[in-house]
């Protein structure tokens, strides 16, 4: 069969598809069979050239099965045996692949809108690195001329359920089987691919599970920027159903969304600290945008917990965990992100059982840890952070703003005290003048202010959005501060 020689980067540039903070992302119309074939073929030949088997999974987006067909064809062309795991959470696929020493490909766009999708890649030892991404992009591959016709005729193979069963077993023996008896827990199902496994696990631990808003239409839930609609839903569901907690995730099940008994969604970066405390982690890698409660709590640990701040995105957190392990091979290393995704960098013993490393984002472990903490401490979830320092974070974003515009705005702010003053004036008190006392450029522009607040702006790595994060010692009006910063930023871009 005739084939065309293709450089992945050239083809992806032509179609406007690229790697984001985690995985390839693009509009569905641009994720053509040829491009998806090229990405997977390049991944196998440049990152996993000795692979004999590959695991492939999908989320519940309407476009995912067709993209999977191109990925399966690419794997077949490389001569690998395929384990098609069907629709399952990304961490379940990654864990299965790691335990069976094979690479994996997950078709998912995570939390981004349904008109977009993507592909995540995993080596046998975990998520690919940024260096691997470069190798994939630089790859030169042979793509069949009639690949679109082949995809149209291709039938997805029978689903192998081994991965999802292994993922359930990972947690079933880790916590007391009765820890949720007498608890009413809502599962905001929407279109999360993790919804069924979460319900199964909650029932295993004795909970009465209340299903909430299951839909077959894809719903883009961003756990880092929860919509006002979903905020209100949580409050309403808690009252209506008298719930002890609400559990949900983003689309591919690697980011958790957890509400306490009041229906208030927990911030992902506070969730990460709770999990690090529960696991008695000695070292934590986390992005620069997470709450400084991480360090404040770390000083109370004995020995003092070591933390490493990274750029935003799971590949950077994973690299940070690897650096910490190189420095301290016996360390109990974890990582987490502001979106709630939690990563286990080393094997842990928890309640007498081994929790194996899973260096990719997971939504299930943090949900179960919070429920276990509530059970063990005999207090509601809302009280688990009662001893935490009063540092609060909020975030939101400007949508549909070109990345180059976001970068220029940030570059202008960095060098201009006048522009900094203009931006910060919208959150200053009546008689207050806010000055920037320090700047962190690890990822975007993170400004520590004279009143102790932190304002952080950065372009999203997954979509044409400008994200804003604010941290403050005062909870009142923190969401309003984020809103004001974004409104003023949008005004400044148009001047």
Size of the chain, expressed as the number of residues it contains: 495
Query: What is the secondary structure of 104-171 as a DSSP string?
Result: EEEE--TTS-TTEEEEEEEETTEEPPHHHHHHHHT-EEEEETTHHHHHHH--PPPPP-HHHHHHHHHH
Under 8 Å CB-to-CB from 328, ≥6 apart: which residues?
282, 283, 306
Residue 108 in contact with residue 118, Cβ under 8 Å?
yes
User: Quick one: angle between helices 268-278 and 364-377, nearest 10?
Assistant: 60
CA distance 262 to 416: 44
424-433 LR contacts (CB < 8 Å, sep 24+): 424/449, 424/455, 426/484, 426/485, 426/487, 426/488, 427/453, 427/455, 427/470, 427/481, 427/484, 427/485
Q: Token pair for residue 147? A: 């690949």
Residue 93 in contact with residue 55, Cβ under 8 Å?
yes
CA distance 177 to 360: 26
Kind and range of the H or E run holding 239: helix 228-241
Which one is catalytic: 46, 77, 110, 472? Answer: 110
110 among known catalytic residues: yes
Question: In this structure, what DSSP letter does residue 75 have?
Answer: H
- Angle at 31 (CA atoms; ends 28, 32), nearest 5 degrees: 120
Q: Hey, which residues are catalytic here? A: 110
């Amino acid at each position: 069969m005739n084939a065309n020689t293709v450089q992945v980067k050239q083809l992806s540039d032509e179609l406007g598809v690229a790697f984001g903070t985690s995985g390839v992302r693009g509009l569905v119309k641009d994720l053509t069979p040829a491009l998806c074939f090229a990405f997977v073929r390049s991944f196998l030949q440049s990152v996993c050239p000795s692979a004999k088997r590959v695991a492939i999974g999908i989320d519940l987006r309407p476009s995912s099965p067709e993209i999977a067909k191109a990925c399966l064809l690419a794997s077949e062309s490389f001569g690998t045996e395929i384990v098609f795991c069907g629709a399952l959470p990304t961490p379940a696929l990654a864990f299965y692949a790691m335990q069976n020493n094979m690479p994996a490909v997950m078709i998912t766009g995570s939390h981004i809108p349904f008109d977009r999708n993507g592909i995540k890649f995993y080596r046998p030892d975990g998520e690919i690195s940024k260096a691997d991404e470069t190798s994939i992009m630089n790859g030169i591959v042979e793509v069949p001329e009639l690949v679109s016709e082949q995809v149209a005729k291709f039938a997805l193979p029978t689903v192998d359920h081994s991965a999802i069963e292994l993922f359930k077993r990972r947690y079933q023996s880790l916590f007391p089987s009765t820890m949720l008896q007498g608890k009413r827990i809502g599962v905001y199902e929407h279109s999360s691919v993790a919804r069924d496994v979460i319900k199964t696990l909650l029932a295993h631990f004795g909970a009465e599970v209340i299903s909430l808003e299951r839909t077959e239409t894809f719903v883009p839930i961003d756990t880092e920027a929860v919509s006002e609609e979903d905020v209100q839903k949580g409050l309403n569901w808690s009252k209506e159903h008298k719930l002890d907690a609400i559990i949900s995730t983003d689309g591919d099940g690697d980011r958790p969304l957890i509400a306490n008994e009041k229906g208030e969604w927990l911030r992902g970066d506070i969730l990460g600290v709770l999990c690090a405390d529960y696991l008695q982690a000695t070292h934590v890698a986390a992005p620069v945008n997470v709450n400084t409660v991480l360090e404040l709590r770390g000083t109370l640990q004995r020995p003092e917990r070591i933390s490493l701040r990274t750029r935003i995105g799971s590949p950077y957190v994973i690299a940070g965990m690897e650096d910490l392990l190189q420095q301290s091979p016996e360390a109990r290393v974890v990582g987490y992100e502001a979106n709630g995704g939690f990563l286990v960098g080393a094997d842990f013993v928890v309640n007498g059982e081994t929790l194996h490393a899973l260096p990719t984002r997971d939504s299930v472990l943090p949900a179960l840890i919070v429920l276990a903490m509530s059970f063990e401490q005999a207090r509601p979830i809302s009280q688990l952070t009662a001893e935490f320092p009063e540092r609060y974070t909020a975030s939101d974003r400007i949508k549909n703003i070109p990345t180059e515009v976001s970068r220029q705005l940030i570059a202008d702010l960095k060098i201009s005290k006048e522009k900094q003053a203009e931006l910060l004036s919208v959150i200053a008190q009546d008689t207050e003048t806010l000055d920037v006392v320090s700047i962190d450029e690890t990822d975007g522009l993170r400004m520590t202010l004279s009143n102790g607040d932190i304002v952080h702006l950065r372009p999203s790595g997954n979509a044409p959005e400008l994200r804003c994060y604010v941290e403050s010692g005062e909870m009142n009006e923190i969401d309003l501060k984020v809103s004001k910063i974004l409104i003023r930023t949008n005004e400044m871009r148009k001047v």
